[in-house]
């Protein structure tokens, strides 16, 4: 197998995730796109791990999975809080920071 198979797959998933983050307005869907990006990074790490023959990449991938789980938990708690206060999770409506 070529290593580029895995790296290009990771690049494609990363770009789809970036597109989702830019285009989506619903906060839950933006969090889902961020998960796509994190998954593509994990594929890259494990491909390089296989290339170099160590297991550092697998350790990093496990840590990324743990941090991503924590991020989703806190992120969805924030989304629920916003929904409770404003009855919407549309990111366009959160514009108090605009001058």
Partner 1 sequence: MLFASVTIASDIAVDIEVAQTVGFGIIAALMVAGALNVVLSKNVVHAALSLVMVMSGAAAQYLLLAAEFVAVTQVLIYVGSVMVLFLFGVMLTRAKLGKDTDLNNHNGWALGLPISLLLLGVMVYALIDGFDDTRISGSGAGTIGSSANVLLSDRIFSTYALPFWALSFVLLAAVIGAIVLARKD
- Closest approach of partner 1 to the CB of residue 68, in Å: 7
Near partner 1 in 55-94, by CB under 8 A? 55-56, 58-59, 61-63, 65-74, 76-81, 83, 89-90, 92
Contact pattern for partner 1 over residues 2 through 41, marking x by CB under 8 A: xxxxxxxx-xxxxxxxxxx-xxxxxxxx-xxx-xx--x--
Q: What are residue 26's DSSP bridge partners?
A: 90
Distance between CA atoms of 7 and 40, rounded to whole angstroms? 9
Q: How many residues does the chain have?
A: 99
- Closest approach of partner 1 to the CB of residue 84, in Å: 8
Distance between CA atoms of 30 and 80, rounded to whole angstroms? 14
Taking each helix axis from N to C end, the angle separating 3-23 and 27-52, rounded to the nearest 10 degrees, works out to: 160
Distance between CA atoms of 97 and 40, rounded to whole angstroms? 32
Contact positions toward partner 1, by CB under 8 A?
Answer: 1-9, 11-20, 22-29, 31-33, 35-36, 39, 42-43, 46-47, 49-51, 53, 55-56, 58-59, 61-63, 65-74, 76-81, 83, 89-90, 92
């Amino acid at each position: 197998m070529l290593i580029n198979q895995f790296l290009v797959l990771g690049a494609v998933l990363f770009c789809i995730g970036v597109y989702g983050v830019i285009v989506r307005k619903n906060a839950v869907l933006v969090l889902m796109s961020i998960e796509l990006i994190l998954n593509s990074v994990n594929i890259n790490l494990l491909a390089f791990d296989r290339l170099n023959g160590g297991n550092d990449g697998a350790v990093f991938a496990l840590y990324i999975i743990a941090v991503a789980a924590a991020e989703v938990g806190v992120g969805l708690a924030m989304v629920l809080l916003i929904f409770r206060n404003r009855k919407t999770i549309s990111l366009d409506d959160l514009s108090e920071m605009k001058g």
